[in-house]
Amino acid sequence: MTLVSEEFPDEVPLRAEEITIPADVTPERVPTHIVDYSEAEQSDEQLFQEISKANVICIVYSVNNKKSIDKVTSHWIPLINDRTDKDSRVPLILVGNKSDLVEHSSMETILPIMNQYSEIETCVECSAKNLKNISELFYYAQKAVLHPTGPLYCPEEKEIKPACAKALTRIFKVSDLDNDGILNDNELNFFQRTCFNTPLAPQALEDVKNVVRKNMTDGVRDNGLTLKGFLFLHTLFIQRGRHETTWTVLRRFGYDDDLELTQEYLFPPLKIPPDCTTELNHNAYLFLQSVFDKHDKDRDCALSPDELKDLFRVFPYMPWGPDVNSTVCTSDQGWITYQGYLSQWTLTTYLDVQRCLEYLGYLGYSIICEQESQAAAITVTRDKKIDLQKKQTQRNVFCCNVFGASGSGKSGFLQAFLGRNLVVSHLHLLWFTFTFIHLLHEVFPDSEFLSDADLCCDVVCLVYDISNPSSFEFCADIFKRYFMDSKTPCMVIAAKSDLHEVKQHYSQSPLEFCKRHKIPPPQSFTCNTADAPNKDIYTKLTTMAMYPPKISPTQYVHISGC
């Protein structure tokens, strides 16, 4: 904190020191470093250095000296503004000193100045001689730093700023648990308890709504608070000098002083040891189910484009592009179904858990579920080597990498996993197709060598086209180079089995190759049927992933349909 003033001989000087605001003035005890500047003692260069470091600046004038008051606007404010960035102005506090020498107030003269300069937070008249309002001075100075007006409110327009309105709109939408556009009494109480650790009494709730009713016609609907009413209340708090109320709400929902969600909120620490994977736990799925349900307005168990857009309105960007519809289960209209929606979340958690944490942060998981952070939604599985040693697994999500030469039928194989045949799939190239239990990954190697990511999976699927005599050679080469000596189980898929089978240009037939290397015989497959493709192959792949060679199966896993 920097105090600037002219030198007045009868003034009690303030020195740089560590002070704490008395508890009876404010509940917050914040160490405050004070730098006192006087034109008679310090140089301009020293002043400029202190201005650049200050979080708040107090401009001290004498209430009984008109020249001193005039210098606030003619010298001090222009000087400070010239040394600070326009978009991040330091808050100013006007301090009228020597109030013990006059019987009148200077506020009539100061108010026009406060209206002219938005960076002025407040004005305090005090007496350094008898210590009148000195504690209040430092209280308001600290408040200007901890709960600044600038990011929240535009005094010229007399309304909250767009960034503040955007943040509060997200908070409203997260708090609107049934997505009906209003905060009912239960939702208001949950919001109050979340932000201030105490519910509102029934009469207090009615008083809040009555204030809104008296000031706007559409602030209350069906006895609940609308978004307009919610924004009006925060505007009223700020106009009445209760910035700390709005800041408490914003910070509880993860916002920093620039009204951006903090990195600490979006990306809480999560330790993931090597050879471990990440999955959503039961509570996370329940939360995501509630989010789906409140946006599925027509109750058709699918999200239309408008419903999906509404769901992601609390995000700063649209996280799912149109390609998602090609990789998850969709309805007859091409809309993402409930299972497809959860599958996409499963995939994101498995492949990019940091992105999943970010998404859950936007949705307000930690707030709605009353958790310390969204890291509580994640289960980190144990090392896969321990699963092999114990001959059992605790994992629920498995990855299958699908290899095959160009045109071998990989894309059709992946689309069939979603119950799509050639007629409905349009054979879009895709990377992932999955349900809860099994994730299929089509590999497109960028070079003749496979990366570690290409090799990291629970089961391998080698697809060849029975009608192409050169197709199997690619599969055999991939197996011998990368998987022959690995512990990863492999399956060979004889795709396009509805076509005439030709002899493969390879030293061994696919069946002989499989026998020699002790892998299951080739599995016939086609998606060129009028009916939904058979899913037995996917069931076998899942079983192989769950119970690799060193694990004896104790049960047969069934993959439910889409």
Residue 531 in this model has a pLDDT that exceeds 80: no
Q: What is the pLDDT of residue 561?
A: 33
Residue 31 in this model has a pLDDT that exceeds 90: no
Residue 334 in this model has a pLDDT that exceeds 70: yes
Dist CA 212 CA 192 (whole Å): 17
Q: What is the pLDDT of residue 532?
A: 60
pLDDT digits (tens, 9 = 90+) for 398-428: 888 889 998 898 888 887 776 654 433 333 3
pLDDT digits (tens, 9 = 90+) for 208-231: 999 999 999 999 999 999 999 999
Q: What is the pLDDT of residue 7?
A: 40
Tokens for 109, please give them. Answer: 């003269």
375 phi/psi in degrees, rounded to 5: -60, -25
In this predicted model, which residue has the larger pLDDT, 531 or 294?
294
Residue 557 in this model has a pLDDT that exceeds 70: no
| Poorest-pLDDT segment among 245-249, 283-287, 431-435 | 431-435
Residues 444-454, mean pLDDT to the nearest whole number:
64
Give the model's confidence band at 25: pLDDT under 50 very low, under 70 low, under 90 confident, else very high. very low
Tokens for 454, please give them. Answer: 């290409």
Residues 122-146, mean pLDDT to the nearest whole number:
86
Residues 420-445, mean pLDDT to the nearest whole number:
44
142 CB-near residues (< 8 Å, 6+ apart):
21, 26, 28, 30, 32, 56
Dist CA 460 CA 517 (whole Å): 14
Residue type, 488: T
Q: What is the pLDDT of residue 386?
A: 85
Residue 445 in this model has a pLDDT that exceeds 60: no
| Poorest-pLDDT segment among 66-70, 97-101, 322-326, 522-526 | 322-326
Helix and strand numbers (H, E) in the chain are: 23, 22
Average pLDDT, the chain: 83
Q: What is the DSSP string of 409-463?
A: SHHHHHHHHTT--HHHHTT---SEEE-SSEEEEE---SSSS--HHHH--SEEEEE
Element (H, E) at 351: helix 338-351
Tell me the percentage of the chain whose pLDDT exceeds 70: 85
- Whether the Cβ atoms of residue 498 and residue 526 lie closer than 8 Å to each other: yes
Residue 262 in this model has a pLDDT that exceeds 80: yes
> How many angstroms separate the Cα of 114 from the Cα of each of 73, 109, 138, 185, 428?
10, 10, 18, 39, 62
Dist CA 447 CA 428 (whole Å): 22
Cα-to-chain-centroid distance, residue 551: 39
Q: What is the pLDDT of residue 435?
A: 39
Residues 9-31, mean pLDDT to the nearest whole number:
40
